Each structure stands twice: as C-alpha cells, then as structure tokens.
Amino acid sequence: MLNNIGLPGLLLIAIVVLVLFGRGKISALMGEVGKGITAFKKGVSDGTKELEDQAEAARDVTPDEEKEKDKV
C-alpha cells in the first residue's frame, strides 16, 4: 500500500499535516527532534570514550615503581 503513494501523495500528506498542526508547532517539534539527536550522539561519544579509558586502564598493569624507574 505504501509503495503507491508517490510525490503527489506525499505533498498532500505534508499539506494536511501543516494545516492540522501549524507551522509553529511543526518547527518546535523539529527543534526538539534535533536536540534529541544531539543528546544521543553526545551520549554515544561519551560512552565510547569511557570504554576506551577503561580499556587503557586495564592494559596498563605495570607497577608505579617500575614506571618511575623507566623514566629515569
């Protein structure tokens, strides 16, 4: 059923949605969607960074005394 919509059908749906909700309501909704996407991306990058930090800490098992000896 959705395969037969085409461009005229999409335009008709867009016009009906615009009439029902108004331009202000739709722009506010799109702004909230944008904020949600931004927050999701930030959460994913923070989670990835946290996992990388944990992996780095798990790899470094050298005692502190030996680290300082290597520096000298």
| Per-residue three-class SS string for the chain | CHHHCHHHHHHHHHHHHHHHHCHHHHHHHHHHHHHHHHHHHHHHHHHHHHHHHHHHHHHCCCCHHHHHHHHC
pLDDT, residue 40, reads 96
Q: What is the mean pLDDT of residues 10-16?
A: 90
Phi, psi of 11 (to 5 degrees): -65, -40
Per-residue confidence (pLDDT) for residue 35, from 0 to 100: 96
Tell me the per-residue pLDDT of 23-71, one tens digit each, with 9 for 90 and over: 888 888 889 999 999 999 999 999 999 888 888 777 666 676 666 666 6
**pLDDT number for residue 54:** 83
Bigger pLDDT: 48 vs 1: 48
pLDDT given for residue 42 in this prediction: 95
Q: How far apart are CA 60 and CA 62, in angstroms?
A: 6
